[in-house]
Structure formats: C-alpha cells, structure tokens
Amino acid sequence: MSAFKGFLREDGSVGVRNHILVLSTVVCANVVAERIARRVRGAVAFCHTNGCGQIGEDLSQTIRTLTGMGRNPNVFGTLIVSLGCEGVAARDILNALARNRNNVELVTIQECGGTSSAIREGERILRGWQKEWKNQRRVPCQLKDLTVGLECGGSDTTSGIAANPVMGYVSDRVVSMGGKVILSETTEMIGAEHLLAARAVNGVLAQKLLEFVKKTEDSAKAMKVDLRGTQPTPGNIKGGLTTIEEKSLGCLAKAGHSRIVEVVGYAEPPTNNGLVIMDTPGYDVESVTGMLAGGAQIILFSTGRGTPVGSPIAPVIKITGNPKTAERMRENIDLDVSGLALGRQSIEEIGDELLALFRKTASGRKTASERLGHTEASITRIGPSV
C-alpha cells in the first residue's frame, strides 16, 4: 500500500509538487525571473538578495543553495536567469543541474540585450517544456522517499507543549518508515544542545553539533550579545516564553525521540535516512530555504502566535497549539492541535490526524500558504557585502 502519490524524477527522487523553477542567480535578475514565471502556468520564481558582493564561503553557500533549489525533487525543470556579471557563476549551476536533470536552461540578461528580450527568451524556453510538464502523473510512493523539514516560527508557550510534540510524533513515524527528517534552527538549540548531542549515534556527530552551537553563540558575542538566559524575540516574550533555554526545549520536541544519524551544514543534502541536524539560523524564512536546498519536499511548521510564511517550491503545513490563534488566523492554519494542550486529545490521536493531513498534502492537497500565494524565501549570509 502506498503512503502517498508523487512525481517520479529521472534521477530517482520523488516530488510532492511539480513546479517549473525560474531561478534568479542575483538580485539584479529578480524582476526578469518574476516576470517570466508570471507568464507560464506551473512556473514559480525563486528570488533573493544574494549573488554578488560575496566572497569565500559566503559565496559558496549561496551557490550551494541555488543549486540545491534546482535539484529539489519538487522541481520538474529549472530555468536559470543570470545578469551576466555577478559573482555567482551561473553556468556552473547549469552544469551541476544538467548532470541529473533533463530540463535545465540558462538565460543571461546582458547577452539577450536587456529585460524585455530576456523575458521573451525565458518564456519561449518554458513554453517548450509545457507538453512534457503537463504529462507528468503522480505514482504510488512511500514515506521513505521523503525528506521532511521541521520548522517553528512565531512561537509561544503552546508550541513547546502541544504543536511541537505532535510534530515529533510524525517525525518519528517518518523516520521509522525509512524517510529523512531535518531539524534546523541552531539558535534554538542553545541551552539544550547537550540533550540533543546525547541522541547522536556517535561522538563525532555529537561534537559537530556542539561546534555548530558554539559558532552561533560566538557570532552573537562578536556583536556584543549573549544569547544564553535571554529571549531575543519580542513576539516570543509576548507569547509567554521566558528564556532561550525554554524555547530550545520546545524546539527539540519537533524531532521526537529518534537518534541523530547525520549533521550537515546550511543547504547541504543529507546522505543518510533518519533524523538529521542542519545548521541554520532561527530566522524561519532562511531556515526553510536551507532545508529545501538540502532536498526537503515538505515542511511541517509550528506556530503559536501565527505566521503566513510559505515557500516557492514546497508545501508548508502550519500547525498551532493555540486555540485563539487557530480562530484568529484560521485562513493561515492547516491544523489546530490545541486539543492536546487542553487535555481533550491524546498525542497519538492528534498525531495520527497530522500524519493523515501530511499524506494528503504530499499527494497534492494544497496547504493554507499555497492557497494564499505565500512564496517567501531568503538565503542566509555568513559575511558582509564587499
């Protein structure tokens, strides 16, 4: 019996969506990428503010993220839109994607002769893919074919006692069936990192995780901020959270009880099935982008206070444990799990409810953020612009 129905790609991966991606390499190409995407059904644009004025690992991370977005199984084909003189080497991304995907092309604005010509050329290319794109059909797939990203944003006290534990229940189920689950947001591991490290399958992974946390703390101290014992987000404070340690304990609940099999950097694709830690900011838009570039096809996103954030290429399932938020922001919420916090439902009951919604979403049911057109995305930075 299949767990869901998805799109089988030529490299053997499985998508839960069938997007044509118009991938901007640099902020200067964003408008052209957006206008191309608007003209062709099934196309979505990935735009950002990076791509030039970056050096070293900072530039490499942007290139890795852009390449990862094009490789995501939810993407049918990728049109790369380049200005022509940016720091990102667009042709290197083209060559990397073309190694395992058929529909990959590059449009360079300067070579086309400007905005209008580049838009026309991009539209011509995408329309040439339309017949094949329309003929894509969903086939039976298993949960082991999925990489699931875990995220929280706009957290409050109900996140840690209801929404996140329910996500942890589903996370453990996906892992038990052979899938990958990514826990991100290094900032929100501070104060509880020793508990997470104890779940690593070996000492090398545990040490790598602890080093990620220390690096994050050190970068904050360099800006004269000590994150421990504080709560840096005003919304979290209003939501009843008192310290970053308290928030971190809630964050860890998203990952259930599975052992950690791998620890990866921002936008790095995991190679092992099971629970994976990715080094990302706590900033949810940048964190989700990193997980999508790492191959996540679907995102589980808890929110206590409510947030409309979505993504360009993957469904984002919004879960809240706050009954007031579920009522006030009902158009943005996919599942109200406040029954757990109120003692009306068991974690197994509401966890199975989320798992059923998860399967339906993987098979094509649109999430609230998809219906409302939310496609927020951003690539994190390491260094200053030069």
pLDDT in tens, 252-306: 999 999 999 999 999 999 999 999 999 999 999 999 999 999 999 999 999 989 9
Residue 161: CB atoms within 10 Å? 15
Residue 345: CB atoms within 10 Å? 17
The pLDDT of residue 155 is 80
The pLDDT of residue 240 is 65
Confidence of residue 226 (pLDDT cuts 50, 70, 90): confident
CA separation for the pair 194, 382 (Å, rounded): 25
Mean pLDDT computed over 349-368: 97
Token pair for 177? 């069936």
Residue 304: CB atoms within 10 Å? 30
Mean per-residue pLDDT of the chain:
94
The pLDDT of residue 231 is 59
Side chain identity at residue 15, one-letter code: G
HSE, CB side, 13 Å, CA atoms: give it for residue 250. Answer: 27
Side chain identity at residue 213, one-letter code: V
Work out whether strand 139-141 and strand 4-8 pair parallel, antiparallel, or are unpaired. antiparallel
CA separation for the pair 71, 281 (Å, rounded): 22
**Of 74, 81, 71, whose CA–CA distance to 125 is shortest?**
81
CA separation for the pair 79, 179 (Å, rounded): 29
- Residue 112 clears pLDDT 60, i.e. is over it: yes
Contact 189, 215 (CB under 8 A): no
Name every residue whose Cβ is closer than 8 Å to that of residue 379 and which is 6 or more positions away in sequence: 48, 49, 50, 61, 62, 65, 66, 267, 286, 289
Q: Please work out, in degrees rounded to the nearest 5, the angle formed at the alpha carbon of residue 299 by the alpha carbons of 298 and 303.
A: 155
Confidence of residue 230 (pLDDT cuts 50, 70, 90): low
The pLDDT of residue 236 is 64
The pLDDT of residue 341 is 86
Tell me the per-residue pLDDT of 165-197, one tens digit each, with 9 for 90 and over.
999 999 999 999 999 999 999 998 988 899 999
Q: Please work out, in degrees rounded to the nearest 5, the angle formed at the alpha carbon of residue 367 by the alpha carbons of 366 and 368.
A: 125
CA separation for the pair 8, 87 (Å, rounded): 34
Q: What does each C-alpha distance from 130 to 34, 80, 100, 135, 277 come to in angstroms?
A: 18, 17, 20, 9, 37
Tell me the per-residue pLDDT of 295-347, one tens digit each, with 9 for 90 and over.
999 999 999 899 999 999 999 999 999 999 999 999 999 999 999 988 999 99
Residue 84: CB atoms within 10 Å? 16
Output the CA torsion 178→182→183→186 (10° steps): 140
The pLDDT of residue 222 is 87
Tell me the per-residue pLDDT of 91-102, one tens digit each, with 9 for 90 and over.
999 999 999 899
The pLDDT of residue 235 is 63
Position with higher pLDDT, 369 vs 247: 369
Confidence of residue 224 (pLDDT cuts 50, 70, 90): confident
Task: Give the SS3 label for residue 263.
Answer: strand
- Residue 1 clears pLDDT 90, i.e. is over it: no
